[in-house]
Amino acid sequence: MADGSRWETQAEAWLHQQGLRLLHRNYRCRMGEIDLVMQDGDMLVFVEVRRRFHAGFGGAAASVDWRKRQRIVLAARNYLLRLGQMPACRFDVVAFEGDCGQPVWYRNAFQAE
């Protein structure tokens, strides 16, 4: 299992324990990719999973920079167009620092701009 896939699997399992349900994993389109698309009650959640060995330069969560957020938002818009409806949605980040298996969950980490 590739390292990124390992952390996505851990994030998915952890979010499932928090009550979210997986809808799609690694949704790709030409505009970008979304690691996990999950359902949290009536809310559609687009999740970016990040892992960094060191917390320097802001750590895993800070690595979701403006450019990465824009690509996620574009991919999310593409995903929503395929649904044919506009549910309430948010963008979350699940971050892992170092070898720690415990994620930090940033709900509503950023907004579509």
Residue 7's CATH number:
3.40.1350.10
What mean pLDDT is predicted for residues 34-63? 80
Q: How far apart are CA 4 and CA 49, in angstroms?
A: 8
Q: Could you tell me which residue, 34 or 69, shows the higher pLDDT? A: 34
Range of the domain at 78: 3-110
76 exposure class (CB count in 10 Å sphere: 0-12, 13-18, 19+): buried
What mean pLDDT is predicted for residues 34-60? 81
pLDDT of residue 1: 45
- For the chain, how many structural domains are there in total? 1
